Amino acid sequence: FVVDAKEGITHEDEQVAAILRRSRKPVVVAANKVENFDKQLEYFEFYNLGLGDPIPVSAMHGRNTNDLLDAVISYFAPLSAYKEDPDAIKIAIVGRPNVGKSSFVNALLGQERVIVSEVPGTTRDAIDTPFKYNGNQYILIDTAGIRKKSRIKEPTEKYSVVRSLKSIERADVVIVMMDASEGVNEQDQRIAGYVHEQGKANILVVNKWDLVEKDEHTMNKFDKDIREDLKFMAYSPILYISAVTRKRIYKVLELADFVAEQHMRRISTAELNQVVNEAMLLNPLPGGGGHKVKILYSTQVGIAPPTFVFFANKPELVHFSYLRYLENELRKNFGFEGTPIKMILRKREAKE
């Protein structure tokens, strides 16, 4: 509650003070325009407002603002009081500047929670927002737009990009957002590549779909172009939305639930080996000289992302293209839509 130390208590001050006292909320009185901080008489009368100790400040000269800030912070709940729901799905929204990340979050929440502007780079930090939909808990993480390194000039923006990359690391599901009016560019590929390398469940969301002139072939053409440009994410679902018209925005949350479940999926060892053995019968491992190359046994050793170990007699001779074939067979049989799969080869001697 800012008051004028030069003018003293006014009738309006008393009216506001009465409202604040009835609110039973913590109040800090800032007595502004104080020139001599040693003379309590300049602000002593504000004790009469009944709102505790007035704190003398000079906004013009920036004096004593540290004490004011300390007083405000003293009313904050300790960090330990803010507990993240362990069952909430953390969804990070990443993409180039101005693809509509903040507009999407605000459309979901139905309120202006984060700044929306036509100027790229308005969101400076990762902003966490707890959110509930259809009985499910989510934490939406809106991040600063990620530019090419050569175009990042301000130190604050460099910090924001680092925070955005950290947000990807702590998310359960990452929404890679693109602009329908611009298509996939090199920076989209870099961002998607980082998400893939981090092994995160993800959805490719194409925003601003309302700006595209459409016919019956438009979506198929977009699908084809995106699959061509992001070949390494062939497993990711694609969704076309408009944050402005709110079209299909809640479908994103339904897909997030689904890919989060796929990300945590575990396959029994018996089922896994059956599929791998059938795949090897259909397409045997090539060559290997005197001894045939064999995958003797396979097992799932981890989730988020699903991680599989294949024990082979000559792992060094198993080509990466054969692992890709096995990955495709696993996806064909078990799904794993929206999640990367990690494949590891280990050596194991065949029993005579």
We find that the CATH architecture of domain 89-263 is: 3-Layer(aba) Sandwich (3.40)
The tokens describing 348, both together, are 């194991």
Instruction: Count CA atoms within 13 Å of residue 229 on its CB side.
Output: 18
The length of the chain, given as a count of residues: 352
- When mean pLDDT is compared across 24-33, 36-45, 165-174, 319-328, the lowest value belongs to 36-45
CATH number for the region 2-76 comes to 3.40.50.300
Percent of the chain with pLDDT over 70: 86
CA angle 234, 238, 244 (to 5 degrees): 155
Helix runs in 218-337, H state only: 218-229, 249-263, 269-282, 320-334
pLDDT at 309 over 90: yes
Report pLDDT for 279: 96
Cα–Cα distance for residue pair 329/200, rounded to 1 Å: 20
Give the start-to-end residue ranges of the domains of the chain. 2-76, 89-263, 269-347
Cα–Cα distance for residue pair 2/58, rounded to 1 Å: 11
Across the range 145-153, mean pLDDT stands at 49
Cα–Cα distance for residue pair 326/69, rounded to 1 Å: 59
We find that the CATH architecture of domain 269-347 is: 2-Layer Sandwich (3.30)
pLDDT at 82 over 60: no
The tokens describing 314, both together, are 């000559």
Task: Report which secondary-structure segment, H or E, holds 140.
Answer: strand 136-142
Across the range 221-237, mean pLDDT stands at 97
State the burial class of residue 147 (Cβ atoms within 10 Å of its Cβ: 0-12, 13-18, 19+): middle
Q: What secondary structure letter does DSSP report for 81?
A: G
The 10s digit of each residue's pLDDT in 89-100 is 999 999 988 899
**Are 336 and 330 in contact, with CB atoms under 8 Å apart?**
yes
More confident residue, 211 or 131: 211
- When mean pLDDT is compared across 16-25, 54-63, 106-115, 247-256, the lowest value belongs to 106-115
Structure confidence at residue 162 as a pLDDT band (50, 70, 90): low
Structure confidence at residue 129 as a pLDDT band (50, 70, 90): confident
Across the range 195-221, mean pLDDT stands at 96
**Are 205 and 241 in contact, with CB atoms under 8 Å apart?**
yes
**Helix, strand, coil tally for the chain in percent (to 5):** 40, 20, 40
pLDDT at 246 over 80: yes
Q: Is 122 helix (H, G, I), strand (E, B) or coil?
A: coil
Cα–Cα distance for residue pair 102/113, rounded to 1 Å: 8
Q: What is the mean pLDDT of the chain?
A: 87
Q: In degrees rounded to 5, what are phi and psi of residue 93?
A: -110, 110
Helix runs in the chain, H state only: 11-23, 65-73, 101-109, 155-170, 186-197, 218-229, 249-263, 269-282, 320-334
Enumerate residues 6+ apart whose C-beta is below 8 A from 163: 125, 126, 143, 144
Across the range 323-330, mean pLDDT stands at 97
Structure confidence at residue 150 as a pLDDT band (50, 70, 90): very low
The whole-angstrom distance between residue 29's C-alpha and the CA centroid of its chain comes to: 38
2-76 and 89-263 have identical folds: yes
Using alpha carbons, list the distances in angstroms from residue 289 to 96, 251, 286, 292, 352: 50, 52, 10, 7, 18
Name beta bridge partners: 93.
142, 175
Cα–Cα distance for residue pair 341/302, rounded to 1 Å: 10
Q: Is 147 helix (H, G, I), strand (E, B) or coil?
A: coil
